[in-house]
Structure 1
Amino acid sequence: MRVLLVEDTEDVAEAIVANFSRSGHAIDRVTGCGAARDAVAVQDYDLVILDINLPDGSGFDFLRALRSAKNPTPILVVTARREVEDRIGALDIGADDYLMKPFDLRELEARARALIRRSSGEGSGVIEYGKLSLDPAGRTAGIAGTPLQLTRREFSVLEILMLNRGRVMPKERIFEKLFSFDREEVGLNAVELYIARLRRKLAGSGLVIRNLRGLGYQIALDE
């Protein structure tokens, strides 16, 4: 997934970025409302993790602006504010979830996965398609019960395709979900490399990754 973190507290931000990066997610971090507005203007995100007390204003203002623009990106608010009115206010103006500081990074990532599942129409934590099952929480996948040995990036590409099965994913969109802004040295050819590796590992599974020339990639049952 591609995540935007809006957080000005350095140690909190570093911990969140490290945790999501270890799980194979692309995460961009900004420290204020203005930079957050600039980021969403040029990049689509699967999730925004939003602090409320920011140097250049309230995260509530950014949240209101995002929803006024009809941007449906899931928003997970994280804040030290403990008043019930703050939680109610955040949800009422468009937040999808609310987590109070301090929090366990495992809970933060679990809530993020739940919001992504909800936005993609997935009801279960484990995604199944044909003989393939994929567990985003455990970062594991298997074919008819046999584990697949996947690298972090290979798993992320497979997760993207599985969450969008039935749809064609442009190479550029896959790339955006894999790499954050600070990975400028990585080229689009990286996506082709991961797709080629996945095709070899899915051989005999009953699933194929199709390349629709000029459009993108699609995971499908091999019929």
Structure 2
Amino acid sequence: MMHIYVYEPRDERIGGLMAELGAAQIVPVRISDAFFEGDLGMLTLEGHSSRPFLLADSALVIGQITRLRGAGCRNPIIILRDFRNTRAAAGTLDCGADDDLVIPLRAIELRARINSITRRAHGHAAPSLNIGEVTAYFDGRDPEVAGQRVFLSGREHAIFQYLALSASKVISKAAIYEAVYGLSEDQPFDKVIDVYICRIRKKIAAAAVSGHGYIETVHGRGYKISAPEQAGYETGDTLLPAPADSGALTYSSGMTIETAAQ
């Protein structure tokens, strides 16, 4: 699931837009003019920066973008306009928007554009990332572990993807909670993140040749997703499991490192 802030002041347009977003498993949170007058500093907190803004073009849009960026907001900002206007689009992009689109627009395309902006904001140009035996996709697909798909629920996928975007970095439970739930009216009990993390670990470990769960608990700080310790070499290659008792570590590039006999 993906949460997104939506600014569309026209009641005759909001219903169709919300339905289109919902069909693509995007959870819209409608905001009003008052949102931009409030404390935008919360958007700089961990967990909030992954939630995009979808802003309908209006006389206020340049001011809205300026306020968001001026508050330190790094969230993706996408403008929706009724008609193509090259000069106006250039103005929003120069002001800090990430994309400027003409409606009608299918949510599946919008989701792909948001995924592209988000992964690049986290330093990932490629549509996927290898973490040991795990392949994390940034286009909405479930991860693969040792070559087989691991099916995740909507919440599990949102948590996994948020961790994967910041692979090898410690992410606090509060940040994960905000990224997955945030302003949603469905606010669960405090331990729900722990429960989901446990489920994801079990699914990954069941599929991994190594049996490794890949999501580590860093006590007092949060969680991080990373490969087993043996994969900690300074290399861009993925560490592949070596045959039993081979005494070697084999990388995806074909390079093999002999290790000392046990």
Q: TM-score, normalised by structure 2?
A: 0.75
Instruction: Give the residue type in structure 2 aligned to 1:10.
Output: I
* 8 A Cα contact 1:37 1:62, kept in partner: no
Instruction: Give the residue type in structure 1 aligned to 2:8.
Output: E
> Is 2:79 the partner of 1:74?
no
Partner SS state of residue 87, structure 1: helix
Identity of aligned residues (%): 25
Shift in Å, 1:123 = 0.8
Shift of the 184–39 alpha-carbon distance from structure 1 to 2, 3 Å rule, reads farther
Shift in Å, 1:81 = 3.6
Shift in Å, 1:16 = 4.7
Match for residue 146 of structure 2? 144
Partner SS state of residue 122, structure 1: coil
Match for residue 106 of structure 2? 104
Instruction: Give the residue type in structure 2 aligned to 1:118.
Output: R
State how 1:87-98 maps to structure 2 within 5 Å.
87-98=89-100
* 8 A Cα contact 1:33 1:58, kept in partner: no
1:135-158 Cα deviation digits (max 9, x unpaired): 232422111211112211111111
Instruction: Give the residue type in structure 2 aligned to 1:5.
Output: V
Partner SS state of residue 89, structure 2: helix
Of the three residues 113, 118, 126, the one matched with 1:116 is 118
Shift in Å, 1:80 = 1.1
* 8 A Cα contact 1:172 1:188, kept in partner: no
Over aligned residues, Cα RMSD in angstroms? 2.1
Shift of the 187–176 alpha-carbon distance from structure 1 to 2, 3 Å rule, reads same
* 8 A Cα contact 2:172 2:223, kept in partner: yes
* 8 A Cα contact 1:208 1:221, kept in partner: yes
* 8 A Cα contact 1:166 1:219, kept in partner: yes
Match for residue 42 of structure 2? 42
Of the three residues 3, 18, 22, the one matched with 2:22 is 18
Partner Cα separation in structure 2 for residue 40 and residue 19 of structure 1: 29
> Is 2:6 the partner of 1:5?
yes
Instruction: Give the residue type in structure 2 aligned to 1:51.
Output: A
- How many residues align? The count is 216
Match for residue 247 of structure 2? none
Match for residue 63 of structure 1? 65
* 8 A Cα contact 2:54 2:77, kept in partner: yes
Partner Cα separation in structure 2 for residue 180 and residue 93 of structure 1: 26
Match for residue 214 of structure 2? 208
* 8 A Cα contact 2:53 2:76, kept in partner: yes
Partner Cα separation in structure 1 for residue 57 and residue 157 of structure 2: 33
Match for residue 189 of structure 1? 191
Structure 1 residue runs of 4 or more that deviate by more than 6 Å after TM superposition: none
Of the three residues 214, 217, 226, the one matched with 1:220 is 226
> Is 2:29 the partner of 1:28?
yes
* 8 A Cα contact 2:202 2:213, kept in partner: no
Shift in Å, 1:39 = 7.0
* 8 A Cα contact 1:79 1:99, kept in partner: yes
Gaps of at least 5 residues in structure 2 are 230-262
Of the three residues 168, 171, 194, the one matched with 1:169 is 171
1:32-53 Cα deviation digits (max 9, x unpaired): 3322443744342322111122
1:117-169 Cα deviation digits (max 9, x unpaired): 11111111122211111223242211121111221111111111111112111
Q: After the TM superposition, which of the residue ranges 125-134 and 190-199 deviates more from structure 2?
A: 125-134
Partner SS state of residue 226, structure 2: strand
Shift in Å, 1:73 = 2.2
Partner Cα separation in structure 2 for residue 33 and residue 45 of structure 1: 20
Q: TM-score, normalised by structure 1?
A: 0.87
